[in-house]
Structure 1
Amino acid sequence: MTRDDATGDVADDSPDGRGTDRDPVDDATLALLLEVAGTPKPGNVDRRRDLGDLRFESFLGGAVGAREGLELAGSGEASVGDAFERAVAGMADRAGTNTQFGCLLLLVPLLRATVAGDDPSADRPPSSLTPAAVDRVTRETTVDDAVAFYRAFEHVDVAVADPPAGATDLDVRRGSDAAPALRERAMTLRDVMAISARSDGSGDPDEVPDRNAQEWVGGFPRTFRAAEWIRTDTGPLTDRAARAFLGLLAAEPDTLVAATHGPETAREASARAAALLDGAGIGTDGLAVAADLDVAAVHGADLDAAEALATAFVDEGINPGTTADLTCAALYVALRRGAGVAP
């Protein structure tokens, strides 16, 4: 794997880079399935745990239902926003609830970047899926993409924080009613994500930003880092996904946990995950120090001990859903870079 530090592009020159000849839509669908099958992922639905009415099979249905939208993203027949909305609508129709909204928000631009990079007629240099490629995709989004993104909220209930001061007319819970404000402000979908990725101005040092939005405006750094954890790990992909999930949660508090339980609980949950990593540097706040969270620490995550944490999180209602979204995106990138389910 060779990186161009000037662009962030990574050429897939690894000996196991056989993933590039597979259908990207198949890999995106497989990533959705592998994410929910990985276990234990403390606090989340997995193949051993349901959460009330949110069942493992619901996520399988959601992955199947999202396929049409993923195909639109992969074919280029629809914009990023329209493909995302179609994927969410299909997910909701098949699952009957919100199962993978955040996963799809990350997968659609990654999928589009994959296809754009493979298209020799595209007005950009061909490349493997890279941070620079997906950054180009998000920068090219339009106001219509933003309007479609808002429409997607009409298909499902999504737990979101209140909008920042001065942006109440851009509250995503308004759905299509926010379209006039989006058009008046000429807000692209990336612009919307940039607002969500920023601080709310409260000055709270424990504030937890929207990690998915941060990916959108930052070139997907967590996604690509975790993809390398998965790609270079050994054993079943479901176990690799579970270890990557713990690494992501250990390094940064989860957005959904912060939104539902507050930032202090989110930080405590991450500290509890960090305690399961082998040799991770632990800061004074109890979190794994991101700079010290090397691949060996993640690969050494104690999945047996994580079983007890999974039970505890479910009992406490702690659901690190944003971390699951990032794990799904990382699985997709890992699959595109050669990881596979074959032994």
Structure 2
Amino acid sequence: MIFQPALNVFLLILLFAPVAALIVWILVRGPRAAAIGPSAGDAGTRVRNHRTLWALRLVMVLACFVMLLRPGIPGGATQTLATDTDIVLVVDTTASIVAEDWADGEPRLDGVRADVKALIEEYPGARFALITFDAAAELRMPLTTDTTALVGSLDVLRPEVTAQSRGSSIGIAAPLLSETLASAAEASPDRSRMVFYFGDGEQTVSSEPESFASSAKYTDAGAVFGYGTAEGGRMLITSGGFQGDDEYIEYQGSEAMSVIDEANLETLAGQLDVPFELRTADTEPELPEAPSTTTSYAEAGEVGNVTELYWIAALLIIALLGIELTRATMLIVRLRGLSTPRSAPSAPPVAPTTPVEAAPTKGGDAS
């Protein structure tokens, strides 16, 4: 049994000891003679009721004291990691990211979402930033530990509008990534930094891809994840809403197919000095080990899981409060009954009387 008091124990004693002492004194003293009444039979019942009532109140006070002590049973210690790392995710949002060659004809973006969730589980406590790129790069979410917001951002993420697409470069996010990493390094020089790139490597503009080499000096670990197949996948037209049209992008009269370019992705991985990994739906991502700055709280000697028991005292308090409320309601009903004036009984009707003639006197009329 361990205790995790809500307040200092000495302060709790100062708060509850006077109240408990007062209740004990009332119990020992008993009810006043005027409250017992003249009847000897009623006297014994009233004394017992008085002591029972105040004994329950004493139990309620003690239960409040125990609840604020927060008792618990220590459980097995669990290894909780706090990854002291900044992780920047660079996600391709060009039309090819919805090419339907992931798993059983699902879009590649589903694979990206699944792999990001695996990252969140692998590096708990890390700060995440999200950069997306198509015709331009955009910082969708700055560094934060709010992984719920990150997952929400990915859930609503959609590719660029097909009608506005003019081609894109797989390295267009390089300057923004370098700037983001440099800012993170300046703000928190003691934290390590990781970069994960998600894309298919398709270069759809004639220029050469921008280099990510300037980001390598800020990157401690990471990976380049490639999505797609050599056979390719067709892409739905995106109109800018949450639901795309039911038509596919066409090129020269037939459905356009997006294929992965592993050579380009390997080049990006070399510039960042991180490994390249081809992703498929039937395999789990091979994530690098957490940087050396990762701290294990369990190994540092902190308390492991604790089974809280204060709720037992809370249930007892609720039950005792129910008894008090029931008793108060009964007393109110009784007092209202005593205070209601009773109407006086009506008098029985009196029969009308008839005048009686005087009896004649003996000897005739008096004259």
**Aligning the two structures, in what range does the TM-score lie when normalised by the shorter sequence?**
under 0.3
**TM-score, normalised relative to structure 2:** 0.26
- Structure number with the higher strand fraction is 2
Q: TM-score, normalised by structure 1?
A: 0.27
Larger radius of gyration: 2
Structure showing the higher helix proportion among its residues: 1
